[in-house]
Amino acid sequence: MKIAFLTSYNTDLFKKELEKYISNYIKNCSFFFNAYGTQEKIVYDKSSSLYSFNPNIIIIHFEIEWLLGDFAYDILSLAENERYNKLKEYESKISLLIQNITDKLPNTKIIIENFIPRDKPILSILDSNINYGLEEITLQLNNFLFSQKKIYSDRIIIHDYATFISNFGRINCFDYRLYRLAKNPFAKSFYNELFNHYTNIIDALVNPRKKCIVVDLDNTLWGGIVGQDGVENIILGGTGIGEAYVQFQKVLLNFYRKGIFLGICSKNNYEDAMEVIEKHPDMILRKENFASIKINWLDKVTNIINIANDLNISTDSIVFLDDNPVECELVRQKLPEVEVVNLSGDPDNYIKQLLSIRSLNTTFLTDEDLVRNKMFLANEKRKELEQNSFSLDDYYKSLEMKAHIYVNDISHISRISQLTQKTNQFNLTTRRYTVEEVKNFIQNGEYRIYTLRLLDKFGDNGIVLVAIIKMENEMWVIDTFLMSCRVIGRQAETALLEAIIDDAQRVGVKSIIGEFIKTPKNAPAENFFSNHRFTLLSNNKWKLDLPAKKFSHYIKIIRGN
């Protein structure tokens, strides 16, 4: 992972510390920092060291004082129309810088820090009450960054430096003497907070986020112990501490809406706890918001394992929240891969602890993220149907499955990248691709990217299969073939392979070559080629000669929409 910092200030005083800090969370990193005062030169110079470094991620941190120059301290030197013209000049400067970077680094993810002045406006209260004062110009420039985000889509990420500084306060963040002496604006006591700020956004891009938050109930979602105090006496809602628990549930609900599963792991009487969840007027989270509920007297390690099994995820995808330090320590010892957060102190502090969990951060959402929990509920209905079916064939027929298959659909780029990044179980080669790399495949005439959206009578599973095919004369090579774990065992992989074979035969391809690269997690895909009449060559390579016979499955294939 190559990470570049492009800044308007001098990083010499802390860049070694910053590298070390980031490397604690992101392994195998190399770093680039521009020399002070060279930020524009290296952007416009095609042969600059920035472009030869060719970063995966670039963080652009230009302070507004550099952008505005002396004008930041002498707003009234210009008339209102001149101040407006200056604003447009600054917007053009930002736009041109971004355009040059995106053109020269097409595969690089670009993080842009928004603006906040180091000092309060020189004009004090007056600044907010004139047109195009420093505060309005700052606001307009930050809004302009969002307009650039819309133009460049997933290429650009806005990082909220302004709110970050506001939370800590200028007096705690900046050292004006140090800036005068070394052109480094930050107080040394603020370095770790700044390093953490940078690391949060890099980590969200590089490392997959956790998939499930498992919560305790008593003194976590509400105050008190329902089995002892009774439903009517628990602390939830109203004023005081009860309101803090409501706010905490609202934050958890937002994670649910972002596609993260919620689970319950509580030592409790099931009937008592469910009465609160289903009937208490101030409960925000209801039964339907929880993908797995384990309310019993088993140890929490066993229940967490069972939750993972219910959701078909690994335990290292779970964050566990509990107010009891003893229970937390047990889970840490027995399941070290689970991220354990011991909620401590006043319930008002729970939200801060929850929002500080780096592994829950994400920089974008797909359509599938927004409906993941609804999809899970539909899948539970499918499982119920399967259990009540006489045979597997009856089950497949009764699902009334339809596979919409697309080729090189530009609207699926984000989902394709996301699936390559996070799919481990049914993934033949486990190659990871960024959004830009996927886009390049689609634009390159040598590749075909297949996506499959699976629907049935219970609902839409979304885009759940991806195949990346490299076309080599009379041979097609399967670079990537993966399937979301939520549709494993539904014959969707056979339907997609059939579509690929049909297309290959139509254009005269003589054979399809595949590869299986074994990992600790992809055992479910190990027999894919042998099950579909491929012949083993060598070095895990497989071959299917064409033309080939049709495969048996119960899915209706529909091309495109």
Written as one letter, the residue type at 403 is: A
**Tokens, residue 223:** 């105050």
Q: Which of 188, 203, 191 is nearest to 24 (CA)?
A: 203
Distance CA 350, CA 286 (A): 19
pLDDT mean over 377-400: 74
Task: Quote the pLDDT of residue 486.
Answer: 78
Task: Quote the pLDDT of residue 228.
Answer: 86
Q: Mean pLDDT check: name the lowest of 202-206, 326-330, 337-341, 451-455.
A: 202-206
pLDDT at 432 over 90: yes
Burial 346-366 (b: 16+ CB within 10 A, else e): ebeebeeebeebbbbbeeeeb
Task: Quote the pLDDT of residue 398.
Answer: 84
CA angle 497, 311, 344 (to 5 degrees): 140
Q: What is the DSSP letter of 336?
A: T
Task: Quote the pLDDT of residue 378.
Answer: 67
Q: Which of 206, 169, 175 is nearest to 22 (CA)?
A: 206
Distance CA 205, CA 164 (A): 19
Would you say the C-alpha torsion 21, 25, 31, 34 has a positive or negative sign? negative
Residue 395 or residue 329, greater confidence: 329
pLDDT tens figures, 314-323: 999 999 999 9
pLDDT at 135 over 80: yes
Tokens 């208490």 belong to residue: 280
pLDDT mean over 118-143: 92
The H or E element spanning position 143 is helix 134-152
- Reported pTM: 0.70
Indicate the Cα dihedral angle 370, 373, 378, 383, nearest 10°. 140
E strands, 388-430, are 402-407, 426-427
**Tokens, residue 248:** 């905490």
CB 295 within 8 A of CB 287: no
Residue 111 or residue 398, greater confidence: 111
Residue 282 or residue 422, greater confidence: 282
DSSP-assigned states of every residue in 183-202: S--B-GGGHHHHHHHHHHHH
Q: What's the pLDDT band for 524 if we cut at 50, 70, 90?
A: very high
Tell me what percent of the residues of the chain surpass a pLDDT of 70: 97
Task: Quote the pLDDT of residue 133.
Answer: 93
Tokens 């603020």 belong to residue: 190
Q: Mean pLDDT check: name the lowest of 45-49, 135-139, 343-347.
A: 343-347
Q: What is the DSSP letter of 350?
A: H
Q: What's the pLDDT band for 4 if we cut at 50, 70, 90?
A: very high
Q: What's the pLDDT band for 445 if we cut at 50, 70, 90?
A: confident
Residue 478 or residue 458, greater confidence: 478
Q: What's the pLDDT band for 495 if we cut at 50, 70, 90?
A: very high
Q: What's the pLDDT band for 436 if we cut at 50, 70, 90?
A: confident
Task: Quote the pLDDT of residue 381.
Answer: 66
Neighbours of 497 (CB within 10 A): 25
Task: Quote the pLDDT of residue 561.
Answer: 58
pLDDT mean over 384-409: 82
Q: Mean pLDDT check: name the lowest of 280-284, 378-382, 551-555.
A: 378-382
Written as one letter, the residue type at 320 is: F
pLDDT at 536 over 90: yes
Distance CA 541, CA 429 (A): 11
